[in-house]
A and B are shown apart, each in its own frame.
Chain A
Amino acid sequence: MSDLPEIPPDDEDEFGVVKKFCYVNRKAPYGTVYALESLEMVLISAAFDQDVSVVFMDDGVYQIKKDQETDGIGIKNFSKTFRALEGYDVEKLYVSKESMDERGLTTDDFLVDVEVLDQAAMSALLAEQEVVITA
Chain B
Amino acid sequence: MSKLHTVNKSPFERNSFDSCLKHAEDGSAVLLIEDGVYAAVSGGEVATRIGEAAGRLKVYVLGPDLAARGMTEDRICDGVSVVDYGGFVDLAEAHDAVHSWM
Contact = CB atoms under 8 A, between A and B. Distances in A.
B23 to A, nearest CB: 22
A65 B69 contact: yes
B8 A104 contact: no
Interface residues of A, number: 25
Given A59-B10, A62-B38, A104-B44, A28 B67 contact: no
B43 A59 contact: no
B73 to A, nearest CB: 12
B92 interface: no
Interface in A24-65: 27-31, 58-59, 62, 65
B47 interface: yes
Contact of A66 (B10, B42, B64, B70): B70
Nearest to A64: B70
Contacts of A70: 67-68
A96 interface: no
The 7 closest A-B pairs by CB, nearest first: A104-B43, A72-B64, A104-B44, A31-B35, A65-B70, A68-B70, A67-B70
Given A62-B69, A77-B68, 18 more contacts: A27-B13, A28-B13, A28-B35, A30-B34, A31-B8, A59-B13, A59-B38, A62-B38, A65-B70, A68-B67, A68-B69, A70-B67, A79-B70, A102-B12, A103-B12, A103-B38, A104-B45, A104-B47
